[in-house]
């Protein structure tokens, strides 16, 4: 049995002070620690997590997403999720987690949504 992995690439967002984490691979019990470490390492005031490369998440991944959201709320940081496929959105809806936060179709929409008001 091969161990699954996730690739996480951090980059500057299109707006000042924003960062984007692009995920590629499943977010599950085998990969949540890398995800949690990447979230903790980001110190930007606004973070977009791009799920467009995530085929699925399991219950551990779901917990990690909720944990990231709660941590951002406590730290008064803006956090947005983008590019979630229908399979991931279905899990979030089925578990009533989707109502906690808004997800956006694209990274650009998420960046606009969490941009500071001028």
Using one digit for the tens of pLDDT, what is the confidence trace for 54-101? 999 999 999 999 999 999 999 999 999 999 999 999 999 999 998 888
Residue 118, pLDDT score: 55
Assess contact for 10 and 39: CB atoms under 8 A.
no
Q: Is residue 1 part of a domain?
A: no
Q: Is residue 118 part of a domain?
A: no
Model confidence at 1: pLDDT above 60? no
From 15, 40, 11, select the one nearest 23 (Cα to Cα). Answer: 11
pTM: 0.93
Domain total in the chain: 1
Residue 117, pLDDT score: 65
Residue 72, pLDDT score: 94
Assess contact for 64 and 30: CB atoms under 8 A.
no
CB atoms within 10 A of CB 21: 20
Q: Residue 2: helix, strand or coil by DSSP? A: coil
What domain range includes position 75? 7-113
Distances (CA, A) of 106 to 2, 5, 36: 31, 23, 22
Question: pLDDT tens for residues 30-57?
Answer: 999 999 999 999 989 999 999 999 999 9
Q: What is the CATH number of the domain that holds 80?
A: 3.30.750.24
Q: Is residue 105 part of a domain?
A: yes
Q: Determine the Cα–Cα distance for residues 117 and 12; give it in Å rounded to an integer.
A: 19
Angle at which helices 59-74 and 86-94 cross, to 10°? 80
Q: Determine the Cα–Cα distance for residues 79 and 95; give it in Å rounded to an integer.
A: 20
Q: How many CA atoms lie within 13 A of 49 on its CB side?
A: 27
């Amino acid at each position: 049995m091969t161990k699954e992995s996730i690739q996480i690439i951090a980059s500057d967002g299109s707006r000042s002070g924003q960062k984007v984490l692009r995920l590629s691979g499943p977010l599950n019990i085998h990969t949540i620690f890398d995800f949690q470490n990447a979230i903790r390492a980001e110190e930007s005031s606004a973070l977009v997590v791009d799920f467009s490369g995530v085929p699925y998440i399991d219950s551990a991944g779901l917990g990690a997403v909720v944990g990231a959201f709660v941590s951002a709320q406590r730290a008064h940081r803006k956090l947005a999720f983008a590019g979630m496929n229908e399979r991931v959105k279905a899990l979030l809806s089925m578990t009533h987690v989707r109502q906690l936060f808004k997800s956006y179709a694209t990274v650009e929409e998420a960046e606009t949504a969490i941009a500071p008001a001028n």
